[in-house]
Chains A and B, each alone.
Chain A
């Protein structure tokens, strides 16, 4: 187990390095001088040269990359051009919104998908299965940011129950913060719930006819207990795998939903950085998100090994 862990961690480190190198290189290869883009057309040549020097653009790519990488290890991601503060602090501050948002969305989607999927599998080909299937199809097809708009129309403009957007900050109290994140999280969770319902249904269907579930039934457990205690735990593995695979889409959704609800999260930061041409912030946020996706898949892989001893044997 430990040797697998070491190997996987090494492979993770290499992957992360390659990602950072790739994004760095792509940004370098793209036409356009970051300093000129950030300053706009009206900048004087002196200002431009000063910024180029500050960004280290007068240095060759490998030097810049290594300097940046060294900074990352020291927790220094550079200075935001527009905000005038360290990017690392900026990301940490925005993460305090995006992370809870993503977590609530994940919890919501799992809480909806597992009962729906399990029930659909139990009533295989029945009315409930049909309705759950319809729910999956529709929720996968609707864009999360549009759901956000509809929720605002319904709960803010028409009913006035919820704030239409914005974030009071965690200083305003846990309840106020959670309230601001609820509608965005629902919008973000819906497409995920559709995907996960399908996976849960298929997984439960598959294990429902296995010997251990039949044995549980035979020893006198009711069907409900047999399924929830024996079939569902086994069906959770594919659900969490899918959750890991879907993480890219969750992040993409968060970028959009944060913009709909005007939430000061990482996605909004990336968008603002784009409109303000703050290349440093953008590069760091893109890298951060990508690293997060890779890390997430790494954790899912590990969770697999912990949960399923058969895979451990295979990976040896």
Chain B
């Protein structure tokens, strides 16, 4: 534990991420005001003038919307990253097991998927199946698949060269079993670190999608759409553009720091 505290990056990242999750979960049971309730009389109030962070153009409480936005952003991003991580890792370890032409095909495929930014695939998907949380999750998750596939392949290939794996192979253990028993547990640390870092990227992307109106539909509050709405009132109520952006930046900062800190903690080479 003392070692943990001596690593400020990990500690700060952990605290910010914890706060983010706490606020998101709290929003499920309590917000200062109902987040979608309009109150035109109190529209565009400055922070502390009405509620903690003021109100938007419909008189909705900004603080409450931010809280619910945290949940919406986090839940979408987590599902997207888990989708990408599970599919990508599965592809990676299977390719590491088989190698040969499969490796070439899959890696080229990863290059191709990685070439389509999630904003664009979300637009494509949005045109056909409509935008919303599902579209965002698929678009972001698909983009994450190559990231995890490459990582898992690289890490798994290293494990396959270890003596205990060679021993297992010579004992006649089936490759699939070796993958489950030896490979996956030994690459899980790297996958977890990557999940944390990609979660930050997913939050950024989700915010971008909602900003363009490709995220969850109104009146569901999202950080991205709050920014899009604020754009109309930059002169009148600039604070509306401040808070959601700060929330996004802080969430991403926390997750990135947590990921970096975790990598340092979990990397055995660094623990000397």
Contact = CB atoms under 8 A, between A and B. Distances in A.
Interface in A240-295: 248-249, 251-252, 255-256, 259-260, 270-271, 274, 277, 279, 282-283, 285-286, 289-291, 293-294
Interface residues of B, number: 42
Contacts of B207: 143
A96 interface: no
B106 interface: no
A157 B205 CA distance: 27
Interface stretch (A23-31, A69-77, A221-229, A302-310): A23-31
Interface stretch (A99-107, A148-156, A211-219): A148-156
A176 interface: no
Interface string B78-121: 00000000000000000000000000000010011011111111
B127 A282 contact: yes
A256 B252 CA distance: 18
A211 B44 CA distance: 63
B115 A294 contact: yes
Contacts of B118: 252
A31 B125 CA distance: 10
A18 B112 contact: yes
Nearest to A255: B119
B204 interface: yes
Contacts of B227: 145-146, 149
Interface residues of A, number: 48
Main secondary structure of the interface of B (DSSP, over half): helix
A257 B112 CA distance: 24
A142 interface: yes
With a 10 A CB-CB cut-off, give which of B127, B227, B234 has the most chain A CB atoms.
B127
Contact of A286 (B114, B123, B242): B123
B192 interface: no
A270 B123 contact: yes
A106 B66 CA distance: 33
Contacts of A140: 252, 256
B21 interface: no
B17 to A, nearest CB: 12
Nearest to B120: A286
B53 interface: no
B59 interface: no
Identify which of A31, A149, A260, A285 gathers the most chain B CB atoms within 10 Å of its CB: A149
A25 to B, nearest CB: 12
A22 B238 CA distance: 43
A153 B116 contact: no
Nearest to A289: B120
Contact of A30 (B128, B208, B238, B257): B128
Contacts of A251: 117, 120
A248 B241 contact: no
Contacts of A271: 123, 212
A224 to B, nearest CB: 29
A279 B126 CA distance: 11
Contacts of A15: 108, 111-112
B208 A37 contact: no
Most buried by A among B128, B250, B256: B128
A19 B110 CA distance: 11
Contact of B200 (A141, A153, A248, A291): A141
A138 interface: yes
A19 B125 CA distance: 16
A283 to B, nearest CB: 8
Interface in B200-230: 200, 204-205, 207-208, 211-212, 227, 230
Nearest to B214: A274
A32 to B, nearest CB: 4
Contacts of A289: 116-117, 120
B115 A274 contact: no
A297 interface: yes
A37 B235 CA distance: 37
Interface in B110-144: 111-112, 114-121, 123-129
A153 B126 CA distance: 31
B47 interface: no
B234 A152 contact: yes
Contacts of A27: 124, 128
7 contacts: A32-B128, A141-B248, A142-B252, A146-B248, A252-B120, A274-B123, A294-B111
Given A142-B245, A255-B208, 19 more contacts: A15-B111, A27-B124, A31-B129, A141-B253, A143-B211, A143-B245, A145-B208, A146-B241, A146-B245, A150-B241, A150-B245, A157-B235, A157-B238, A252-B117, A270-B120, A279-B127, A289-B116, A290-B120, A291-B115
- 6 tightest A-B contacts by CB? A146-B245, A30-B128, A252-B117, A141-B253, A141-B252, A293-B115
